[in-house]
């Protein structure tokens, strides 16, 4: 982890990360996207197939759904920094397809310094955790989205000490909503409601 005070320098450092084996098969590392001083940081699990190819977070189907939910909740793009707890795509091959495979604890731990560096540089007022992997990364294996979602929580300062700790709000990952099928409309409405709670906290 090189000392850095600029997002461009941090992005360059993340691109060269070899802290775990995921870099060997992934196309590239995918750093966060957004501006310094963005009041809200959204933290997901890991890049997907499209993100791995394009090098930006949340540009695939889940990202498009998230963009729509943010707009509906009244959150402007320039007020958001989006990133993932793991910076490389973990997948299993099935023929020519690359199927998402959840990152292991070791991958989350290897990437933890990058997330801390992003948080220190951006210094958001609040963090929205998208899904269980992001929640477990911060609060440990007992975290459950269903138990925590939609309400403000304190930053886990003992596990991840920050100069200015933000508040935290958990919600479902957009990809889980895409998988919901018959319950998709209700799941999407719940995501928008959680994001509106984040707006109210800001």
70-111 residue pLDDT tens: 999 999 999 999 999 999 999 999 998 999 999 999 999 999
CATH assignment of the domain containing 137: 3.40.470.10
In a domain, 1, yes or no: no
**Percent of the chain surpassing pLDDT 90:** 88
pLDDT for residue 3 is more than 70: no
56 within a domain of the structure (yes/no): yes
Q: Which domain holds residue 86?
A: 7-201
Alpha-helical runs (H) found in 45-183: 49-54, 61-73, 105-122, 132-139, 145-148, 174-178
* Domain membership flag for residue 179: yes
Q: What is the pLDDT of residue 1?
A: 65
Residue 2 lies in a domain: no
Looking at the domain assignment, is residue 91 inside a domain? Answer: yes
d(C-alpha 39, C-alpha 79), whole Å: 6
Residue 2, pLDDT > 70, answer no
Backbone angles phi and psi of 59, in degrees to 5: -115, -5
In a domain, 128, yes or no: yes
Q: What average pLDDT does the structure give for the chain? A: 94
Looking at the structure of the chain, the number of domains it has is 1
pLDDT band at 46 (very low <50, low <70, confident <90, very high): very high
Q: In the predicted model, is pLDDT for residue 115 greater than 70?
A: yes
């Amino acid at each position: 982890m090189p000392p850095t005070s600029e997002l461009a320098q941090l992005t360059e450092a993340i691109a060269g990360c070899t802290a775990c084996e995921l870099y060997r098969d992934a196309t590239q590392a995918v750093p966060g996207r957004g501006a310094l001083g963005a009041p809200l940081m959204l933290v997901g699990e890991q890049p997907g197939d499209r993100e791995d190819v394009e090098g930006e977070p949340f540009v695939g189907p889940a990202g498009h759904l998230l963009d729509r939910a943010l707009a509906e909740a009244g959150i402007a793009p320039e007020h958001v920094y989006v990133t993932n707890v793991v910076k490389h795509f973990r997948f299993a091959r099935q023929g020519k397809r690359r199927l998402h495979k959840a990152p292991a604890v070791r991958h989350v731990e290897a990437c933890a310094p990058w997330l801390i560096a992003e948080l220190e540089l951006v210094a958001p007022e609040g963090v929205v955790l998208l899904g269980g992997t992001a929640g477990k990364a911060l609060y440990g294996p007992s975290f459950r989205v269903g138990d925590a979602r939609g309400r403000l929580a304190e930053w886990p300062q003992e596990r991840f000490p920050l100069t200015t700790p933000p508040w935290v709000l958990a919600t479902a990952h957009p990809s889980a909503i895409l998988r919901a099928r018959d319950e998709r409309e209700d799941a999407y409405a719940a995501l928008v409601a959680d994001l509106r709670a984040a707006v109210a906290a800001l």
